[in-house]
Amino acid sequence: MTVIETEPPEAAAAADLSGEAYRVAMRRWLRANLPASFCSDGGAFLPPTLPQSIAWEAAMYRAGLAGITWPQAYGGHGRTLREHLIANQEIGTLAMPESVNSIGKELAGPIILAVGTEEQKRRFLPAILEMRDVWCQGFSEPEAGSDLASLRTRATRNGDTWRINGQKIWTSGAYRAQRCLVLARTGPLEDRHRGLAMFAVRLDAKGVRVRPIRSIDGRERFCEVFFDDVEVLQSDSLGAPDEGWTAAIRVLEIERATNRMYRAWRFENELRHLISACNSDPVLAQLVADRHYAVKVGEIIVDIEVLKAHVETAVDALVNGDRIGARGSLAKLHWSEAHQRFAALALELLAQASLPLLPAVQVARRRFEAIYLQARAETIYAGTTEIQLGIIADRILQLSRGK
C-alpha cells in the first residue's frame, strides 16, 4: 500500500497558486502520488480496496484536490470554479479509480452548503472531505424511479425526533456508506413535490437494512436500503420540511452540469489508451489507420471536443453568475450517449486483435469490457435519457403540453 499518509509539501505551496501554476502543481502531485496499481490503463492494475480508496481520496483532499470550491470554514479550499475545472482536467487525464464518495462530495455536500444549518455544515462537511463519512443517495424507490415525486418513504415528526419508514433502491455504495441522503415524504402522497424533506440518516442506525443488488458487471455496488421505524434527530434534518424537493432540484441542476467534471478528459484518456493498445498490435494498427475506423475515431474526437465545449460553457455561465437551469441535461445526455458509442467501438476493435493477445491488448480489453458494461448505466442513472429529453422539451424549449 503506497498511499500517502502525510501532507506533501506541494499541497501547502499550492495554496498560493492560481491558474496555470495551480495546474502544474496539481499535475505534479498526482503524478508523484498516484499508485501505478490504481491506473486501469497499466499492466500493474489492481483495483484498490475500500480502505485504499478512502486513504487515497483523503490524501487527494489534503493535496487540494477535493472540496476545491467549498468555503475554508468548512474544510474546503475556497477556490474558484475555474480552478475546480483545472483540477478536474488533471484528474481526468489519469486512469484513476472513481471516487467512492462522489455522492458526499458532489451531492450531499452542496445540498448541505445550500440548506444546512451552521452546525450541520461544520459537522458534516469536513467529515466528507476527510473521508470519515462516505455518503450514499436515497432518492429512488421501487415505485418512484424516474417519477421521483411519487416516492412513498415517509418521515413522521414527534418533537425533536423523526421516524422514517420505507424503502430505497438503486442506492449506489450503500454497503460502504456511513450516511444516506434520504428524501422522504412528510405530507400526503397526493402532494407530489410538496411535503418532501431531506435527512442525513446514519446507516448504522437501528432499523436500517442494506441489501446489495448484483449488477450486469457482476459487482454488488448498488443496493436496496430498508428503513423500518428508523429514528432520526431533527438535527439531521436538512432544510425546512417542505424545502426538500426545491433544494434537491436546485442542487441537482448544478450537479448535473458540474459533477465529475473530469469526464471529458477521462474520456480522452480512454481513447488514447484504446489507440495505443491498437497501435501495439499489427492487425489493429492497420485497422485503425484504415479510413473506416479513422472516421469512427474522428467522430469520437468530435464527441469529446463537444463535451468539453458543454462543460466549459457551463463553467463560464456559473462564473458569470448565470443560472444553469436545465442546461445540465444537455451535457448529461451528450456524454452518456457519446460514451456508449465509444465503448461499443472499443469492443468492436479489440475483438479483432491478433492471437495470442499481446499484454497491452489484454489490459485494454479488461478495461474496455468493464467500461462497456458500466456505460450501459450511464443513460439510466442521474435521470434517464428519456427524462433528460423531457426536461429539455419542457424547460429549455418550453414546448406546450396543452390541448
Partner 1 sequence: MTLTGDGLQPSEFAVTAARAVADCAALSLREQARHLANDGLLGVIAAQDVGGLDLPLAFAVPVVAAAGSGLLGFPLMEALLLGRTLQESMARAAEAVVSGEMLATIAWQGSVGAEREGESVVLNGWVARAACASEADCFLVRIGTGAAALVSMDSEGIVVEEAAGLDLTVPEHAVRLQGVTIPAGSVLPESTWGHLCSDANVLRAAAILGSAEACLAMAQEHASTRRQFGRALSYNQAIRHALARQKLGLEGIRHAITRSVGGEAGALQRDAAFLAAGVYGSAISEGALQIHGGMGFTWDVPVHRHLRRVRALQAQGDVSAALAALGRRYVGAIAPASDAAVSG
Q: Which is nearer to partner 1, 247 or 275 (CB)?
A: 275
The reply on whether position 302 binds partner 1 by CB under 8 A is yes
The reply on whether position 197 binds partner 1 by CB under 8 A is no
The reply on whether position 218 binds partner 1 by CB under 8 A is no
Minimum Å distance from CB 384 to partner 1?
12
Which stretches within 207-321 are classed as H helix?
Answer: 244-258, 263-279, 282-289, 291-319
Alpha carbon separation from 366 to 230, 265, 300, 346 (Å, rounded): 42, 20, 20, 11
> Which one of 10, 57, 83, 255 is the catalytic residue?
255
The reply on whether position 313 binds partner 1 by CB under 8 A is yes
The reply on whether position 312 binds partner 1 by CB under 8 A is yes
The reply on whether position 297 binds partner 1 by CB under 8 A is yes
Please state whether beta strands 179-185 and 161-172 pair in parallel, antiparallel, or not at all (unpaired): unpaired
Measured CA to CA, the distance from residue 137 to residue 27 in angstroms comes to 31
Stretch that binds partner 1, among 143-151, 225-233, 255-263, 303-311 (CB under 8 A): 303-311
Please state whether beta strands 196-202 and 154-158 pair in parallel, antiparallel, or not at all (unpaired): unpaired
Alpha carbon separation from 320 to 22, 268, 313, 317 (Å, rounded): 21, 27, 10, 5
Site string for partner 1, 22-61 (x = CB under 8 A): ---------x--x-x--x-xxxx-----------------
Q: Is 44 strand, coil or helix? A: coil
Measured CA to CA, the distance from residue 151 to residue 149 in angstroms comes to 5
Q: Which is nearer to partner 1, 12 or 301 (CB)?
A: 301
Cell 476545491 belongs to: 68
As beta bridge partners, residue 167 has 226
118 flagged as catalytic: no
The reply on whether position 363 binds partner 1 by CB under 8 A is yes
- Applying CB under 8 A, among 1, 12, 15, 289 the residue interacting with partner 1 is 289
Restricting to residues 233-272, name those near partner 1 by CB under 8 A.
269, 271-272
The reply on whether position 293 binds partner 1 by CB under 8 A is yes
- Applying CB under 8 A, among 4, 177, 182, 275 the residue interacting with partner 1 is 275
The reply on whether position 330 binds partner 1 by CB under 8 A is yes
DSSP H or E run through 226: strand 222-233
For residue 325, give every residue at least 6 positions away whose Cβ sits within 8 Å of its Cβ, in sequence order, or none. 253, 395, 396
Q: Cα 344 to chain center, whole Å?
A: 22
> What is the torsional sign of CA 23, 29, 35, 38?
negative
Closest CA to 61 of 43, 87, 97: 87
The reply on whether position 17 binds partner 1 by CB under 8 A is no
The reply on whether position 149 binds partner 1 by CB under 8 A is no
- Applying CB under 8 A, among 278, 315, 353, 375 the residue interacting with partner 1 is 278
- Applying CB under 8 A, among 4, 131, 169, 333 the residue interacting with partner 1 is 333
Q: Cα 350 to chain center, whole Å?
A: 28
Stretch that binds partner 1, among 204-212, 213-221, 304-312, 343-351 (CB under 8 A): 304-312
For residue 96, give every residue at least 6 positions away whose Cβ sits within 8 Å of its Cβ, in sequence order, or none. 30, 34, 38, 39
Please state whether beta strands 161-172 and 222-233 pair in parallel, antiparallel, or not at all (unpaired): antiparallel
Measured CA to CA, the distance from residue 274 to residue 342 in angstroms comes to 10
Closest CA to 57 of 121, 113, 134, 123: 134
139: cell is 432518492
The reply on whether position 367 binds partner 1 by CB under 8 A is no
The reply on whether position 320 binds partner 1 by CB under 8 A is no
Restricting to residues 71-100, name those near partner 1 by CB under 8 A.
93-96
Measured CA to CA, the distance from residue 348 to residue 197 in angstroms comes to 46
Q: Which is nearer to partner 1, 248 or 360 (CB)?
A: 360
- Applying CB under 8 A, among 110, 334, 372, 379 the residue interacting with partner 1 is 334
Q: Which is nearer to partner 1, 180 or 311 (CB)?
A: 311
Q: Which is nearer to partner 1, 229 or 305 (CB)?
A: 305
Minimum Å distance from CB 249 to partner 1?
19
Interacting residues with partner 1 (CB under 8 A): 31, 34, 36, 39, 41-44, 93-96, 269, 271-273, 275-280, 285, 288-289, 291, 293-299, 301-302, 305-306, 308-310, 312-313, 327, 330, 333-334, 359-360, 363-364, 386, 388-390, 392-394, 396-397, 399-403
Catalytic annotation, residues? 255
